[in-house]
A = this chain, B = another copy of it.
Amino acid sequence: MPIWTYIFLMARAATTSDAFNAVAEPQRRRILVLLKGRERPVNELARALRITQPRTSKHLRVLREVGLVRVREAGQQRLYGLDARGLQPVHEWVIGFEQYWNENFDRLNEYVKRLQQKEHADGKRR
């Protein structure tokens, strides 16, 4: 089977591994919150979240891969610390909508929008 077939078949999903994705998982969000202020070892996080240690390690791995946490060896333990810089893009994207969630969708507003839409639709009609 030629390589391009393989590539073609592979070209499906590719959701993985950016800050947006890392943060989509509730447990991972909780981990990040727990890491505010100070580093913590894996077991402590697992206990705090009431989840198993392997699961915790896997979430930490994802967070590590997208650069939201960093690890530091400390004897037997691995101390995970927050590196929030990766959250900045998320913030920047979301803040771009601030004016819209404050918007009051009153009738006039809607009316104007519909007019605009109508114009647009007519204009584009081919």
Q: Residues of B contacting A116 with CB < 8 Å?
A: 38
Given contacts A15-B24, A41-B121, A117-B39, contact A98 B91 (CB under 8 A): yes
Q: Is A63 an interface residue (CB 8 A)?
A: no
- Residue among A25, A84, A97, A117 with the highest chain B CB neighbour number at 10 A: A97
With A84-B100, A91-B101 already in contact, 11 other A-B pairs whose C-beta atoms are closer than 8 Å: A20-B23, A20-B29, A39-B114, A41-B121, A77-B121, A79-B117, A81-B113, A82-B97, A86-B101, A90-B90, A91-B97
Interface residues of A (CB under 8 A from B): 15, 20-21, 23-25, 29, 32-33, 36, 38-41, 44, 74, 77, 79, 81-88, 90-91, 93-98, 100-101, 103, 105, 113-114, 116-117, 120-121, 124
